Amino acid sequence: MNTKNKIVCEEGFRKEKAKGRKLRQSQWWKEKISKGFCHYCGGKFIPPNLTMDHIVPIARGGKSNKGNVVPSCKKCNTTKKYYTSAEIILREKMGTDIKF
C-alpha cells in the first residue's frame, strides 16, 4: 500500500470512528442499550456494560450506521475482534483461529 492510499484509509477510519461516537449519543442507541441485551450471546446486562460493536468491523470496510452496529457485552466484543459474523461461525466450526 502506498503512502497516499494509507492516508486515505486512515482518514476514512477516523471519520467512521467519529460517526460511531456521534451515533453512541443518539436516542436510537440509548434505546438499544436500555433493553440490556448482547446481540451475540443474548445475555442481559446493565447499559454501561454494553459496548457498540460493528457487525462488519471498520477495519474491514464497515460503516458506523444503524444497520451495522449492535450492542455487545465486553466479552463478546473482545472475542469477536475484527471478524465478521460468518467468520466467527467458521472459527467455531474449525475450532481454531482463522488467518487471512
Residue 99: inside a domain: no
Range of the domain at 28: 3-94
Q: What is the pLDDT of residues 56-89, one digit of tens each?
A: 999 889 999 999 999 999 999 998 888 888 888 8
Q: What is the pLDDT of residue 6?
A: 57
Q: What is the pLDDT of residue 72?
A: 97
Domains in the chain, number: 1
Q: Which residue has the higher pLDDT, 79 or 5?
A: 79
Residue 58: inside a domain: yes
Average confidence score pLDDT of the chain:
88
Residue 100: inside a domain: no
Burial of 37 (0-12, 13-18, 19+ CB in 10 A): middle
Say whether pLDDT at 100 is over 70.
no
Enter the C-alpha cell of residue 99: 488467518
Residue 87: inside a domain: yes
Q: How far is CA 69 from CA 4, 37, 39, 49, 59, in A?
A: 29, 13, 10, 16, 14
CATH of the domain at 55: 1.10.30.50
CB 51 within 8 A of CB 72: yes
Q: What is the pLDDT of residues 32-46, one digit of tens each?
A: 999 999 999 999 999
Cα 10 from Cα 82, distance rounded (Å): 16
